[in-house]
A and B are shown apart, each in its own frame.
Chain A
Amino acid sequence: MRSASDILNAHRGDPTRLVQILRDAQHACGNWLPARVLSEIARGLGLPRARVEGVAGFYAFLNLKPVGRFRVLVSDNVTDRFAGSAETCGALCQRLGVKRGHVRSDGRVSVDFTSCTGLCDQGPALLVNGLAIPQVTGERLDQVVRLIEADTPVDEWPADLRRVQDGVRLQGPVLGATLEPGAALHRVLHASPDDVLATLKDSKLRGRGGAGFPVATKWETCRTAPGDSVVVCNADEGEPGTFKDRALLMRRADLVVEGMTIAARFTGATQGFIYLRGEYEFLLPHLNEVLSKRRAAKLLGTGICGDRGFDFDVDVHLGAGAYVCGEETALLESLEGKRGVPRHRPPFPVTHGYLGRPTTVNNVETYADAAVIFGLGLEAWKALGTEQSSGSKLLSIAGDVERPGIFEVPWGTTVREVLKLAGAGSVKAVQVGGPSGELISPKELDRRIAFEDLPCAGAIAVFNESRDLLEVVVNYAHFFAHESCGFCTPCRVGTHVATRSLDKLRQGRGSSAELAELGTLTRLLRDTSHCGLGNTAPNAWRHYLDKFPDDLARRLQAGFVPAFDVDAALVAARTARGETP
């Protein structure tokens, strides 16, 4: 077993690597971080102990209390629910003899839910000690139970059980790119910065992570800001229902790193990071292999492509279970070894990012797109898309469709076309862009996926007539409450209050009082939250309330309903009296 000091040495005693250090220490300590170990790490890094504990306490995958030596986490996205995740969770608990959220008395195993793990096309999915196990039903579920009871370490589980499909159903210029490693980079190598900038501008490439910020502007600001700049690839992909970066990193990791290297060439960065969500730990060996190959081919490292002034390398950092770390400034905090709390902006990362240095943060797909633009040429790119949304977009489609998976389509494709591609039958509603996006009704299927109409970072979840939309809304609202970083009042408390109102509605105990409360929360979160998470959290419920009045009306009570279940609140006293409740 590795000691704390071995681990600290492996990370050069570098406090910015605290999250990585805690991950490794937890692995060495049987899946949790005892108080003594936190003290040792703090001493080794010269940090206050409380700060180390505070960081460990922030991330869902870091445990300050013992969990099972097999920690089984069941993905709790609503599409996993509809694929039977609750049944899978129940069956696992029953077969393994453990209560959800507890540790079995022999310490062997614990089972709980976790936020969407990005395997929605292969649900219900598990993470066992961090490694993804797709499609856990039937015989595969039996296998998981047997392996745990046999105490077989997860790394030794059959490859077949751990195999994740890339899920690609429809290729476009990015997924289908047959560029040789370095092909795009060579074009940039000999172009002047002005030419590169002109191409970027002309391409009208906008960020694919959600906000759609023009790439040319971001890169140029970073290039001209004083200081050693940094290139960061945002592979946190935490928005429930989004799994297109997973596919890109499985199939086109080389292209992504090539895009990062082009950004480095342009901005003058020598250091790069891929911030990979903890749920995608299974991709780490593959990514490291891609990076090594590129180093060997002189496409990374010092003197890239034989140019002695061109040094750039990339490190993969793993997240540890925090959606908010997809927000770029929270991501940077996490990269620096801190709690993933979003920073105040301005200043923006492009001028003051990682360790105060100018930093380009882009989504996985954005970098791949950039490489394609330079590799295949502008014309092919501009042939696709709309006025304000150029090129292609990767969509990850899940839920009630025959062919869930990844579809690369031109921007401007209508929802109806998308549904046809994936094979949707009856449609009650479609969530576009995940919980922070928009729920659309069947009347809106001719809307276009484009920045001009329906912006979408990738997630499309389809719900058929048999689904309870309020279950969807409740699931999404709980997601935000669980993922709120807790920094600011409206989001910390408001997301939680919203879950209570929505739970009440779902139980048929809601009334106009709950609707009024949700209205207040919608406004408050939108207007006063510190970051995008809180600003967009109300999207989880407001579209449903606005667009599905009939569905809602069926569930409302006419009068006031108490905040809690009055009879249940008397059970304890009845029992104490010896009455059978």
Chain B
Amino acid sequence: MSSFTLDGADVAFTEGQTIIEAARVAGRFIPSLCAHPEFPAHGSCRVCTVLVNGRPMSSCTTKASEGQVVESNTAALNRDRQALVQMLFVEGNHFCPGCEKSGACTLQSLGKELGVTSAGFAHESPTRPVDASHPDILLDFNRCILCELCVRASADVDHKDVFALSGRGLHKHLIVNAESGRLADTGMSLEDKAMTVCPVGVILKKRQGFSTPIGARRDDVQTPRQRLEAGRKP
């Protein structure tokens, strides 16, 4: 089997795997946000940037190849990652104490993992509406990190195309598939794959918030890194 090195450790891969996929299978954690094991790489958050033979590349879009020297856990890369996470925090409105997703949020756990203690940059404080039109589902756009996982899940798995992105630059935003602009007028339902993929607290099931006590939530029990490393082969 072919292999590359990740921070000095050998990582085996099969032909066609990306660096982050191979690392994941080997139980080695590379921080990421928009990558999801069930979907093709997106490559937008840039958090998974690593050095491949000394050159910065996103590990979710770069194919593994024999003998690559990959560095991930370096002080400089972790500083870059901190800055990227901070950018996502200031771009939206993230108030974790009042967020139903707190404790099971990939952005939050990544911030903690990287030792982010403040937003660093000045807050954008954008005004973004909440869509509560749907009887069962709430959309809180304030927390969207534009990873397109919901877009992809709804298109490729649910075949409903409920979501899309519009605007560009800092004005890029999520929209739903209805002339009214309201989720209630789309085909979205609780059974959709798109209900399950949001890494942050945008797509929420109504009337079930805060049901898990603090201390017992997903990332309280095990951080994403711990979960991944628990699967590491000796």
Quick one: CB contact mask for B160-181 with A, threshold 8 Å, 1 for yes?
A: 0111111111111001111101
- A492-B162 Cα distance, complex, nearest whole Å: 24
In the complex, A489→B41 CA distance in Å?
Answer: 15
Complexed CA–CA distance, A495 and B121 (Å) = 13
Which of A215-223, A426-434, A480-488 makes up part of the contact surface?
Answer: A480-488
For window 3-60 of B, CB contacts with A under 8 Å fall at 41, 43-47, 49, 56, 58
Residues of B within 8 A of A486 (CB): 146, 167-172
- Pick the contact of A524: B45, B80, B91, B166 (CB < 8 A): B80
A19 vs chain B, min Cβ distance (A):
14
Task: Give chain B nearest CB distance to A321 CB in angstroms.
Answer: 10
Those of B102-124 within 8 Å (CB) of chain A: 121-122, 124
Known: A49-B178, A50-B163. A489 touches B45 (CB 8 A): yes
| B179 near A489: Cβ-Cβ < 8 Å | no
Residues in B neighbouring A49, C-beta threshold 8 A? 177-179
* Residue of chain B at shortest CB distance from A340: B168
Residue B83, interface by CB 8 Å: yes
Cβ A54 vs Cβ B84 within 8 A: no
- Size category of the A interface is 35 or more
With both chains docked as a complex, state the minimum distance between the C-beta of A500 and any C-beta of chain B, in angstroms.
7
Say yes or no: B167 contacts A563, CB within 8 Å: no
- A493, B87: Cβ atoms closer than 8 Å: yes
Q: CB < 8 Å: which of B45, B80, B88, B175 contacts A54?
A: B175
Confirm or deny: A496 has a beta carbon within 8 angstroms of a beta carbon on chain B: yes
**Residue B195 lies at the interface, judged by CB distance under 8 Å to chain A:** no
Known A528-B49, A530-B44; judge A485-B166 contact (CB<8 A).
Answer: no
Chain B hits for A58, CB < 8 A: 166-168
- A490, CB-defined interface residue at 8 Å: yes
B90 within 8 A of A: yes
Asked if A208 is at the interface of the complex by the 8 Å CB criterion, the answer is no
Contacts of B46 in A (CB 8 A): 488-490, 528-530
User: Quick check: A492 and B164 within 8 Å, CB to CB?
Assistant: no
B61 close to chain A: CB less than 8 A? yes
The reply to whether B121 and A497 form a contact with Cβ atoms under 8 Å apart is yes
Q: In the bound complex, how far is the Cα of B175 from the Cα of A38, in angstroms? A: 14
Report whether B179 and A35 are in contact in the complex, using a CB–CB cutoff of 8 Å: yes
**Which chain A positions have C-beta within 8 A of B91?**
492-493
**For residue B170, which residues in chain A have a CB less than 8 angstroms away from its CB?**
481, 484, 486, 492-493, 496
Instruction: Check if B176 sits within 8 Å of A50, measured CB to CB.
Output: yes
Report Cα–Cα, A564/B45, bound state, in Å: 28
Contact in complex: B164, A50 (CB < 8 Å): yes
CB of A153 closer than 8 Å to a CB of B: no
Question: Which residues of the other chain, B, contact A493 by a CB distance below 8 angstroms?
Answer: 87-88, 90-91, 121, 170
A524, B167: Cβ atoms under 8 Å?
no
Whole-angstrom distance from the CB of B42 to the nearest CB of chain A? Answer: 9
Q: Which A residues are in CB contact (< 8 Å) with B171?
A: 486
B167 in contact with A48 (CB, 8 Å): no
Q: Is A425 an interface residue (CB 8 A)?
A: no
A260 to B178, CA, bound (A): 42
Distance, CA A484 to CA B167, complexed state (A): 11
> Which A residues touch B124, using CB under 8 A?
496
A535 to chain B, nearest CB (A): 10
Instruction: Return chain A residues, CB-CB under 8 Å to B164.
Output: 48, 50-51, 53-54
Contact B43 A344 (CB under 8 A): yes
Asked if residues A57 and B168 are in contact (CB atoms below 8 Å), the reply is yes
B180: nearest chain-A partner, CB-CB? A35
Does chain B have a CB within 8 A of A456? Answer: no
Does B168 lie within 8 Å of A484, measured CB to CB? yes
B87 touches A494 (CB 8 A): yes
- Whether B169 lies near A481 (C-beta < 8 A) is yes
Contact B84 A489 (CB under 8 A): yes
* A329, chain B: closest CB distance, angstroms: 13
Q: If the complex has contacts A488-B44, A527-B49, A528-B80, are A53 and B169 also in contact, measured as CB distance less than 8 A? A: no
- Which range holds the interface residue count of chain B? 35 or more
Is the CB–CB distance between A495 and B178 below 8 Å?
no
Is there contact, CB below 8 Å, between A51 and B122?
A: no
A551 within 8 A of B: no
A517 at the interface (CB under 8 A from B): yes
Residues in B with CB closer than 8 Å to A188 are: none
B98 to chain A, nearest CB (A): 23
Q: Decide if B175 touches A563 in the complex (CB within 8 Å).
A: no
Cβ–Cβ < 8 Å partners of A484 in chain B: 168-170
Which of chain B's residues have a CB closer than 8 A to the CB of A143? none
The residues of A that contact B179 with a CB separation of less than 8 Å are: 35-36, 38-39, 49
* A523 at the B interface (CB under 8 A): yes
How distant is B168 from chain A, measured CB to nearest CB, in Å? 5
Q: How far is the CA of A48 from the CA of B187 in the complex (A)?
A: 12
Cβ contact within 8 Å between A517 and B121: yes
Is A457 located at the chain interface by the 8 A CB criterion?
no
- CB atoms of A51 and B161 under 8 A apart: yes
Q: Out of A482, A496, A528, which one reaches B84, CB within 8 Å? A: A528
A192-231: CB near B (< 8 Å → 1, else 0) gives 0000000000000000000000000000000000000000
Within 8 A of A (CB), among B177-203: 177-179, 181
- Known A344-B61, A486-B146, A528-B80; contact A492-B169, beta-carbon cutoff 8 A: yes
Q: Which residue of A lies closest to B49 (CB)?
A: A528
- Selected from A39, A50, A497, the residue in CB contact (under 8 A) with B175 is A50
Partner of A495, one of B43, B90, B169: B169
Asked if A322 lies at the interface with its beta carbon under 8 angstroms from chain B, I say yes
B193 to chain A, nearest CB (A): 16
Distance in Å from the Cβ of A514 to the closest Cβ of chain B? 11
| Residues in chain A near residue B47, CB distance under 8 A | 489
B87 nearest CB neighbor, chain A only: A493
- Residues A344 and B41 in contact, CB atoms below 8 Å apart: yes
A54 touches B146 (CB 8 A): no
Find chain B residues with CB under 8 A from A57 CB.
166-168, 175
A520 at the interface (CB under 8 A from B): yes
- Chain A residues with Cβ below 8 Å from B181 are 35
Q: Answer whether residue A339 sits at the interface, using C-beta atoms and an 8 A cutoff.
A: yes
In the complex, A439→B24 CA distance in Å? 44
**What's the Cα separation between A485 and B165 when bound, in Å?**
11
User: Are A482 and B169 in contact (CB-based, < 8 A)?
Assistant: yes
Nearest chain A CB to B75 CB, angstrom units? 13
- Closest chain-A Cβ to B77's Cβ sits at a distance in Å of 9
A493 to B121, CA, bound (A): 10
Contact B161 A492 (CB under 8 A): no
The contact of B166 among A39, A54, A344, A564, by CB within 8 Å, is A54
Contact A520 B83 (CB under 8 A): yes
A residues near B169, Cβ cutoff 8 Å:
481-486, 492, 495-496
CB proximity to B under 8 Å, residues A491-516: 492-497, 500
Q: Closest CB of chain A to B143's CB: distance in Å?
A: 15
By a beta-carbon cutoff of 8 Å, the part of chain B in contact with chain A is 41, 43-47, 49, 56, 58, 61, 80, 83-84, 87-88, 90-91, 121-122, 124, 145-146, 155, 161-172, 175-179, 181
Given contacts A54-B165, A527-B56, A527-B80, 17 further A-B contacts (CB under 8 A): A48-B164, A49-B177, A50-B162, A50-B163, A50-B164, A54-B164, A54-B175, A56-B166, A344-B61, A488-B44, A488-B45, A489-B46, A493-B87, A495-B169, A496-B169, A497-B87, A564-B122
A-B contact pairs, 7 of them (CB 8 A): A50-B176, A53-B164, A322-B168, A481-B170, A490-B46, A527-B56, A527-B80
